[in-house]
Chains A and B, each alone.
Chain A
Amino acid sequence: MSLFSFLGTLEIGFIFGLVAIGVYLTFRVLDFPDLTVDGSFTMGAAIAAALIISGVNPYLATICAAIGGAAAGLVTAWLNLRFNILHLLASILTMTALYTINLRIMGKPNLALIMEPTVLSPFAALGIPDMYLKLMFIAVVVILTGLAVAYFLNTQYGMGMRATGANPRMAQANGIVIKEKIYAGLALSNGLVALAGALFAQTNGFADSTMGIGTIVVGLAAVIVGESLSGSRSMLVIIFSCIIGSLLYRLAVSAALNADFMGFTTSDLNLITAVLVGLALIVPQLRREQRARKAAAGGTL
């Protein structure tokens, strides 16, 4: 793997670290499997790209992208909470609607950002080579966001959100308004994912209507890989495991694609992803079964 592609892999790994944090918030914290992210990732990229092209400041455009994603999350939460639509289905509905909305935002299936200003433009004067600058910028943004989310989950409000997912009845008995936490959690999660989309569009120079496909699987893969690394209950460790999980996942995929003897091409990406996620899910289960068998065998002695 060349240095260039290695740095690119890390950069995308960090960006999807944001997606992993978002997925962690819904799947694990709120116990609300949310597939909206496939749409909100693209939405973030679409809003950022469209606004930047129309002359809006890239930072403002990025903030608007995150707000757009948060709004998408609110729609999913509303469908689920107000109309009792199953969470999975509610999120698929939003995701489907977003596909069209994203096309409308962009006006065409893809937008190029090659010559446009981006969030990186103010740093161009520093004279750091582009490929290092991108990675450093993204890493700083993602690490700061990770710290903020970990802090948030340890506040009274954030702890209430965790209780909402872990034991709604107990949460309610302690005065936590469950619906409010689910709205807030989905908005935050999808806001982060849209932020990731906006950063992706600006570092990679394009937004495309199909770029969000599979976001949920990648995010989930990162969460699962991260979880298998650490057994800690500390929020800081868990959130950073998500980011590290995302980096490792990207490196694994990149290694598989680069291993010539295996003969994979980029079009095999989805199969590789599915196999990696599958392994991350299967191995812990097999280990549990093995341990249970050993314990049972030990018991008969």
Chain B
Amino acid sequence: MISCKAIKVTFNAGTASEKQALRGVDLEIPQGEFVTVIGSNGAGKSTLLNTIAGDIRASSGKLMFDAWDVTRVSAAGRTRDVARVFQDPLAGTCGNMTVEENMALAYGRGRRGGFKPALNDDLRDLFRDQLKRLNLGLENRLSAEMGLLSGGQRQSISLLMAALQPSKILLLDEHTAALDPKTAALVMDITDQIVEEKQLTVMMVTHSMRQALDHGSRTIMMHEGKVMFDLSGKERSQYDVKDLLNLFAKARGDNEELDDAKLLLEA
């Protein structure tokens, strides 16, 4: 269970460019839940995700991983519990290292790196088995340089890598946004498959309302640093993109934001 209690994040506090990115977020993500997060630009989606990851420290409030208070724990200190896939396919892997070396790095997530060889034949077998599931023929390219693979291939491997070790939460930061539609669909399929199989707890930030409703079991919408609404269960299954837009406009109580909402629909 990941729980955020009244989390606030303020950038450049006390200066003219002060920005309150999160204005008190309360959110509980029980184990095994797949939450999708939507919201317009600057709504605080990424800030929330980065706060959970530890890249950004909360200015106030409390963040708990089960009974562990991680509010003041560094990003590196949290990696045993946090797995991530970034938006940029190049960001999640090392381009000048081989596929197996990248996977070995992810396999060591949350463990202290020792002076034993990072790779051995058992691990290679494990990696090969994992890569087979992608059906991209990558199981034969373990020693290929990561930089030679396409963005979609790299993103798919990033997903596998994130799931190599158990985590309390998997953070997906618009991980299909930089891919072409066909590859994006493929990567989403793989995401669902892995999440299902490993019963992962997931938080996925997305710009696409369609994607937010089609995947996962719960959808939250953020606006101006707060959770504006939180849909799950039967209620959510009856929602369509249009309903989301209406809900969004109603909750906002003005028409000005509709342009913004339209942008979301198109994305």
- Chain A residues near B (Cβ < 8 Å): 151-152, 154-160, 162-163, 166-167, 169-178, 233
A155 and B105 contacting across the interface, CB-CB below 8 Å: no
What's the Cα separation between A157 and B108 when bound, in Å? Answer: 10
What's the Cα separation between A51 and B198 when bound, in Å? Answer: 60
B84 and A154 contacting across the interface, CB-CB below 8 Å: no
Residue of B nearest to A235 (CB): B101
What's the Cα separation between A81 and B23 when bound, in Å? Answer: 32
B96 within 8 A of A: yes
B91 within 8 A of A: yes
B94 and A155 contacting across the interface, CB-CB below 8 Å: no
B95 within 8 A of A: yes
Residue of B nearest to A161 (CB): B113
Contacting residue for B108 out of A151, A160, A172, A177, CB 8 A: A160
- Chain B residues near A (Cβ < 8 Å): 53, 75-76, 79-80, 82, 84, 86, 91-98, 101, 104-106, 108-111, 113-119, 143, 145
What's the Cα separation between A163 and B108 when bound, in Å? Answer: 12
B119 and A154 contacting across the interface, CB-CB below 8 Å: yes
Residue of B nearest to A181 (CB): B113
A159 and B92 contacting across the interface, CB-CB below 8 Å: no
B76 and A162 contacting across the interface, CB-CB below 8 Å: no
A155 and B75 contacting across the interface, CB-CB below 8 Å: no
A157 and B94 contacting across the interface, CB-CB below 8 Å: no
CB distance from B42 to the nearest CB of A (A): 22
A156 and B91 contacting across the interface, CB-CB below 8 Å: no
A163 and B109 contacting across the interface, CB-CB below 8 Å: no
For B86, the chain A residues whose CB sits under 8 A away are 169-170, 173
B111 and A175 contacting across the interface, CB-CB below 8 Å: yes
CB distance from A154 to the nearest CB of B (A): 5
Residue of A nearest to B79 (CB): A175
What's the Cα separation between A177 and B108 when bound, in Å? Answer: 13
What's the Cα separation between A156 and B111 when bound, in Å? Answer: 10
A160-B108, A173-B53, A174-B106 are known contacts; what are 9 more A-B pairs with Cβ within 8 Å? A155-B114, A156-B114, A156-B115, A158-B118, A159-B101, A160-B113, A166-B95, A173-B84, A233-B143
A152 and B104 contacting across the interface, CB-CB below 8 Å: no
What's the Cα separation between A129 and B218 when bound, in Å? Answer: 80
CB distance from B118 to the nearest CB of A (A): 4
For B143, the chain A residues whose CB sits under 8 A away are 233
What's the Cα separation between A71 and B82 when bound, in Å? Answer: 35
What's the Cα separation between A233 and B146 when bound, in Å? Answer: 11
How many residue pairs bridge A and B at CB < 8 Å?
Answer: 91
CB distance from A166 to the nearest CB of B (A): 4
What's the Cα separation between A158 and B98 when bound, in Å? Answer: 14
A152 and B115 contacting across the interface, CB-CB below 8 Å: yes
CB distance from A157 to the nearest CB of B (A): 4
Contacting residue for A157 out of B95, B110, B113, CB 8 A: B113
What's the Cα separation between A163 and B91 when bound, in Å? Answer: 11
17 CB-based A-B contacts, threshold 8 Å = A156-B111, A156-B118, A163-B97, A166-B97, A167-B94, A170-B105, A172-B79, A173-B53, A173-B92, A173-B109, A174-B108, A175-B76, A175-B80, A175-B111, A176-B76, A233-B96, A233-B98
CB distance from A127 to the nearest CB of B (A): 39
Contacting residue for A173 out of B79, B98, B114, B116, CB 8 A: B79
For B106, the chain A residues whose CB sits under 8 A away are 174
For A178, the chain B residues whose CB sits under 8 A away are 76
Query: If the complex has contacts A156-B113, A162-B94, A167-B91, are A174 and B105 also in contact, measured as CB distance less than 8 A?
Result: yes
The 5 closest A-B pairs by CB, nearest first: A175-B79, A156-B113, A166-B94, A157-B113, A156-B118
For A175, the chain B residues whose CB sits under 8 A away are 76, 79-80, 108-111
What's the Cα separation between A240 and B129 when bound, in Å? Answer: 33
What's the Cα separation between A178 and B111 when bound, in Å? Answer: 14
B113 and A155 contacting across the interface, CB-CB below 8 Å: yes
CB distance from A288 to the nearest CB of B (A): 15
For A160, the chain B residues whose CB sits under 8 A away are 105, 108, 113
For B93, the chain A residues whose CB sits under 8 A away are 167, 170
CB distance from B173 to the nearest CB of A (A): 11
What's the Cα separation between A174 and B78 when bound, in Å? Answer: 10
CB distance from B162 to the nearest CB of A (A): 9
CB distance from B76 to the nearest CB of A (A): 5
For B98, the chain A residues whose CB sits under 8 A away are 233
What's the Cα separation between A160 and B105 when bound, in Å? Answer: 7
What's the Cα separation between A154 and B106 when bound, in Å? Answer: 14
For B53, the chain A residues whose CB sits under 8 A away are 173
Contacting residue for A155 out of B79, B91, B96, B116, CB 8 A: B116
B114 and A157 contacting across the interface, CB-CB below 8 Å: yes
